Amino acid sequence: MTSPKVWFITGTSTGLGREVAECALSKGDNVFATLRKPSMLEDLTAKYPSSRLVTFLLDVTDTPSITTAFNEALSHFNRIDIVLNNAGYYMVSEVEGMPHKAAREMFDVLLWGAENVMREAIRCFRDVNRPVGGRLLNLSSRTAIIPQPGTVHYASAKAALECLSEGYISELDPEWDIKITLIEPGLFRTAVIQNHVAEPIHPAYASNASLPTRKYRALYPDIEKTHFDGDPAKFAEVVYKLSRLDEPPVRLPLHRVALESARQKGESLLEAAEKWSSWSDDVYFRN
């Protein structure tokens, strides 16, 4: 039997974050659950003692509060073994129809909030944990691989998070035993779908219902039933299994749609490299 692990999870009020929290608790692990409305987890706090579950009010756009949250978790559990960087939301809009203010606010959560959580996680894994080490699980999206028309700003933020994560992986000292994985889920059915925000159709796209963003918009409000067939409880089981791997993957696409996106992207990159390779034959300084 291995000793219980300590999870630090952002965005646990609903959706995949809550599912992973419930799964970890059911397996005997301890959870420091952060969310903007701690009352959303009253059923879990009634079920588990504070020695197993702690809830903490956190808005990931408030950088000092992230540091406070990690310090509180360390004070309570003495170490943090696994961080699930999950807080987020998405908006439906044509790219040019997304208000700049709304786009920046979404990036503040999906990219900068996640980046600040990453910094604190790495600090804890390296400077506080004894023995050193930890697992950082960044929740990305299959749309970071191939953008979904209608949610491109969301996809862009997730793609930036992927690049940032790979950058961290390239720089970290292996002696710190910090493993980072990008989880790229496909179509899992959660409350996030119901809680999405939709901007008005951009006027230039209004008259043509055959355009990609219009077709995507037409899937709502029934998209949850018609397309999102991933079971979030089973997602949580996979994430728990991932947290136990000594050598986890850098990327983990989950769901047939995510796998197909990964295959298409890989083939596209290889095709471009092969087809246009000769264009690089004479772009260098001559000795």
Whether 154 is catalytic is yes
Whether 140 is catalytic is yes
Cα separation of 162 and 141, whole Å?
A: 9
Cα separation of 180 and 122, whole Å?
A: 10
Active-site residue among 5, 48, 141, 154? 154
Give the SS3 label for residue 46. Answer: helix
* Letter string b/e over residues 117-149, b meaning 16 or more CB atoms within 10 A of that residue's CB: bbebbbebbbeebeeeebbbbbbbbbbbbebbb
Please tell me the total number of residues recorded for the chain in this structure.
287
**Hey, how many other C-beta atoms are within 10 angstroms of the C-beta on 11?**
27
Cα separation of 100 and 25, whole Å?
A: 40
| Residue 17: its H or E element | helix 15-26
What is the sign of the dihedral through the CA atoms of 260, 265, 270 and 274? positive
What is the residue-wise DSSP string for 200-245? PPPGGGTT-TTSHHHHHHHTTTTHHHHT--B-HHHHHHHHHHHHT-
Q: Determine whether 208 is exposed, middle or buried from the number of CB atoms within 10 Å of its CB (0-12, 13-18, 19+).
A: exposed
Whether 275 is catalytic is no
Active-site residue among 13, 48, 93, 158? 158
Widest Cα–Cα separation across the chain: 73
DSSP state of 280: G
Active-site residue among 93, 140, 141, 156? 140
Which tokens go with 160?
């930036």
| Residues belonging to the active site | 140, 154, 158
